[in-house]
Chain A
Amino acid sequence: MAIIMENTLNASLGPLLYCWSKAKVTEFYQQVADSDIPLVYVGETVCSRRREIKFSDYMAIAQQLRESGKQVVLSTLALIEAPSEFTELSKHIDNGEFTIEANDMGAVSVAKSLELPFVCGPSINNYNLATLNKLASWGMQRFVMPVELSKHWLGHILSDSTKRQFEAEVFGHGYLPLAHSARCFTARQLGRQKDACKIACIDHAKGLLAQTQENQPLLRINGIQTQSAQAIDLRNEFHKMQAMGVSYFRVSPSSLDSIELAQQLITEKSLNSKDERDLSCDGYWHGQPGFNNTLAG
């Protein structure tokens, strides 16, 4: 009789996309350390000007989380422009302790040349199996599905017999990173130059909400990053993802509540409530415009 291996889907905590004070970040990761979340990504992915938490601080946080029994991945910048940023990136990848999450092909390049394993974050353009298999041959162990792709797309990938060995992670909860620019939109809103931004992001713990002239929430400004106004919420799809062979359900943190939410996924595999559904989106997962909410009403 054939033995059927049941896939285990677990929760992961994505990198903190916002700029918080050091005290707040420390408190946040203390609570993460006390949770049951098995996989945690830490590191600055948005802006190299954010220096509240230095790389050495992130290393200390990563070590603390590892000591709490967690698997830790160091996330890296999504947009690498200046030579100094590339030098810094290379240093982060060659940290000697932790796997990295590449969010730019420059990071893939460095990891590959150092023969280090890596995870591909959601901003690496993985749109087909041949590309994923190529990256796996270079050392990719897991990839986070680009946020605009669907369960239909993922089903194709995970059921293909030519798929190499790598894990899949789905951005399952939180505000979606939609774009990155050279321009800092937060500084611009405050009438500041990017080079004299005075860390404008620090006053916007969940980014700055932008609405249409009909008061429809549309975007969330987070420095050089533009996010979705609505949080994606795929908790109702948890069991389906498990059956498909997804390994991790990523919760992208926006407050201490995110830790609780991930914890509930682990302990209760809980579904979202009606109130939460009305404030969220799930369109991409169903092959629709990202901001659609198939569960509303």
Chain B
Amino acid sequence: MELLCPAGNLASLKTALNAGADAVYLGLKDDTNARSFAGLNFTPKKLQQAAQYTQSLGKKIFLTINTFPKPGEEQRWYDAIDLAANTGVNALIMADLSLLDYAHSRYPHLPLHLSVQASATNLGALNLYKKEFNIERAVLPRVLSMKQVRDLSKVSPVDLEVFAFGSLCIMAEGRCHLSSYVTGQSPNTGGSCSPAQHVRWQEVGASRQTRLNNVLIDESSVDEQMGYPVVCKGRYTTAENAKPSHILESPTSLNTLSLLPELAKANVVSLKIEGRQRSPAYVEQVTKVWRQAIDTYLNDPQAYQCQSQWDAALAKVSEGQTTTLGAYERAWQ
């Protein structure tokens, strides 16, 4: 079972590998990936260094090219694929049909992973991508219950990777327009959800407001912990409930430490840690805990128990300092 960790820059990459990651994933410094934030990601030269460092340790590096090319600008995405092939990364993580087609036809030996942004949640979708583009692995959207992951794994034509820890996307990924509805930019089109230039915090008397393109996402007292303003984690009113509440989801992170044995038994090949936009300190903390948990499990699967100090360490770096099993747990749905 692979531990796959995020690398927003070279410092995070080295931290992750030294803390026990088996593989890292990263993106280029442009809008070819869905974490296109200022100050993050890799130039071609840095990608080369990252690949050399990672592979010299016998570990793997995956390049994320998971946004969708715009008409007339496709070349930027094709160039990214060519660069990845020439650099010798271990796999590409992609969602767009035309890019999968391009990579598969030009570089048939370069392994392809289907990005979560492709939103493949069922056997039909997996069969199609396997048959047409020979994908090796698919990253499952965070909408399936544990039972559904198990059922799909039994029949899947490709290896499965799941999100194990990090910010919780509650919508079927790759098909969520909430960010672009408010800001004009979505992960698919602009390379990020809730782009930072639209975010504004302001204190008004004893309360703090968070706004996204001027829309009030949340308002609370100044001492209350508030998450990064994404539309799905705001507090709103409805005709059923005049008191503002988190009608979609509250600021919280996904944490599946307690599901580790079940994920292993379901033959999930890779556990993904979310957070390319987070600091090296976050990457180190989360990687260490997960390394320890996976090793503990593999050492004696029967005796595995999620330890409270692991959960406590992860809660500290979690959004809203709380965690959830998300859709893996049927009751959450």
Which residues of B have CB within 8 Å of A113? 127
Would A189 and B238 count as touching, CB distance under 8 A?
A: yes
Q: Which of A13-21, A124-132, A235-243, A244-252 forms part of the interface with chain B? A: A124-132
Interface positions, chain B 7-36, Cβ under 8 Å from A, are none
Least CB separation from B142: chain A residue: A182
Q: How far is the CB of B328 from chain A (nearest CB, A)?
A: 9
The verdict on A234 contacting chain B, using a C-beta distance below 8 Å, is: no
Would B71 and A160 count as touching, CB distance under 8 A?
A: yes
With A128-B96, A135-B97, A179-B176 known as contacts, the answer to whether A221 contacts B247 (CB < 8 A) is yes
Interface residues on B, range: 35 or more
Would A284 and B171 count as touching, CB distance under 8 A?
A: no
Interface positions, chain A 67-122, Cβ under 8 Å from B, are 78-83, 85-86, 89-90, 104-110, 112-113
Query: Complex formed: what's the CA distance from A109 to B135 in Å?
Result: 15
Task: Write out, one digit per residue, whether chain A residues 150-186 have a CB within 8 A of any chain B CB (1) or not (0).
Answer: 0001001100100000000000000010111111110
Would A184 and B97 count as touching, CB distance under 8 A?
A: no
Query: Complex formed: what's the CA distance from A109 to B180 in Å?
Result: 28
Q: How far is the CB of A274 from chain B (nearest CB, A)?
A: 24
Interface positions, chain A 175-207, Cβ under 8 Å from B, are 176, 178-185, 188-190, 193-195
With A210-B247, A289-B213 known as contacts, the answer to whether A81 contacts B121 (CB < 8 A) is yes
Q: How far is the CB of A107 from chain B (nearest CB, A)?
A: 7
The verdict on A56 contacting chain B, using a C-beta distance below 8 Å, is: no
Task: Write out, one digit per residue, whether chain B residues 239-264 have a CB within 8 A of any chain A CB (1) or not (0).
Answer: 11100100111000000000000000
Q: How many A-B pairs fall under 8 Å by CB?
A: 224
Query: Complex formed: what's the CA distance from A189 to B237 in Å?
Result: 10
Q: How far is the CB of A44 from chain B (nearest CB, A)?
A: 16
Q: How far is the CB of B178 from chain A (nearest CB, A)?
A: 5
Query: Complex formed: what's the CA distance from A135 to B119 in Å?
Result: 17
Interface positions, chain A 275-296, Cβ under 8 Å from B, are 283-284, 287-291
Task: Write out, one digit per residue, whether chain A residues 210-244 have a CB within 8 A of any chain B CB (1) or not (0).
Answer: 11111110110100001010000000000000000
Would A189 and B247 count as touching, CB distance under 8 A?
A: yes
Would A179 and B143 count as touching, CB distance under 8 A?
A: no
Q: Which of B184-192, B273-281, B288-296 forms part of the interface with chain A? A: B184-192
The verdict on B49 contacting chain A, using a C-beta distance below 8 Å, is: no
Which residues of A have CB within 8 Å of B247? 185, 188-189, 210, 221
Would B125 and A109 count as touching, CB distance under 8 A?
A: yes
Would A214 and B181 count as touching, CB distance under 8 A?
A: no
Query: Complex formed: what's the CA distance from A113 to B128 in Å?
Result: 9
The verdict on A209 contacting chain B, using a C-beta distance below 8 Å, is: yes
Q: How far is the CB of A194 from chain B (nearest CB, A)?
A: 5
The verdict on A123 contacting chain B, using a C-beta distance below 8 Å, is: yes
Would B172 and A181 count as touching, CB distance under 8 A?
A: yes
The verdict on B170 contacting chain A, using a C-beta distance below 8 Å, is: yes
Which residues of B have CB within 8 Å of A194? 330, 333
Q: How far is the CB of A143 from chain B (nearest CB, A)?
A: 12
Of B144, B215, B232, B327, which contacts A212 at CB under 8 A? B215
Of B69, B124, B241, which contacts A127 at CB under 8 A? B69
Which residues of A have CB within 8 Å of B248? 181, 183, 185, 226
Interface residues on A, range: 35 or more
The verdict on B123 contacting chain A, using a C-beta distance below 8 Å, is: yes
Which residues of B have CB within 8 Å of A80? 121-122, 124-125
The verdict on B182 contacting chain A, using a C-beta distance below 8 Å, is: yes
Which residues of B have CB within 8 Å of A209? 238-239
Would B183 and A179 count as touching, CB distance under 8 A?
A: no
The verdict on A208 contacting chain B, using a C-beta distance below 8 Å, is: yes
The verdict on A36 contacting chain B, using a C-beta distance below 8 Å, is: no
The verdict on B166 contacting chain A, using a C-beta distance below 8 Å, is: no
With A127-B189, A216-B216, A218-B215 known as contacts, the answer to whether A106 contacts B124 (CB < 8 A) is yes
Least CB separation from B68: chain A residue: A127
Task: Write out, one digit per residue, whether chain B residues 113-124 have a CB within 8 A of any chain A CB (1) or not (0).
Answer: 000011111111
Interface positions, chain B 67-86, Cβ under 8 Å from A, are 68-72, 74
Q: How far is the CB of A168 from chain B (nearest CB, A)?
A: 13
Would A211 and B97 count as touching, CB distance under 8 A?
A: no
Would A83 and B240 count as touching, CB distance under 8 A?
A: no
Of A130, A131, A184, A215, which contacts B333 at CB under 8 A? A184
Query: Complex formed: what's the CA distance from A289 to B183 in Å?
Result: 5
Query: Complex formed: what's the CA distance from A185 to B186 in Å?
Result: 22
The verdict on A260 contacting chain B, using a C-beta distance below 8 Å, is: no
Which residues of A have CB within 8 Å of B332? 182-183
Query: Complex formed: what's the CA distance from A80 to B123 in Å?
Result: 9
The verdict on B148 contacting chain A, using a C-beta distance below 8 Å, is: yes
Most buried by A among B101, B118, B177: B177
- 30 A-B pairs within 8 Å (CB atoms) are namely A81-B145, A82-B151, A83-B151, A105-B120, A108-B125, A112-B128, A113-B127, A123-B175, A125-B95, A125-B119, A127-B189, A130-B74, A130-B97, A130-B98, A131-B97, A146-B177, A156-B71, A156-B72, A178-B176, A180-B175, A182-B144, A183-B332, A185-B247, A185-B248, A195-B330, A218-B182, A218-B215, A284-B181, A289-B181, A290-B180
Interface residues of A (CB under 8 A from B): 78-83, 85-86, 89-90, 104-110, 112-113, 123, 125, 127-131, 134-135, 146-149, 153, 156-157, 160, 176, 178-185, 188-190, 193-195, 208-216, 218-219, 221, 226, 228, 283-284, 287-291
Q: A108-B124, A148-B188 are in contact. List 12 more A-B contacts (CB 8 A).
A: A79-B121, A80-B125, A82-B148, A83-B151, A105-B124, A130-B102, A131-B98, A181-B170, A181-B248, A219-B236, A287-B184, A289-B184
Interface residues of B (CB under 8 A from A): 68-72, 74, 95-98, 101-102, 117-125, 127-129, 142-145, 148, 151-152, 155, 170-172, 174-178, 180-184, 186, 188-189, 213, 215-219, 231-232, 234-241, 244, 247-249, 327, 330-333
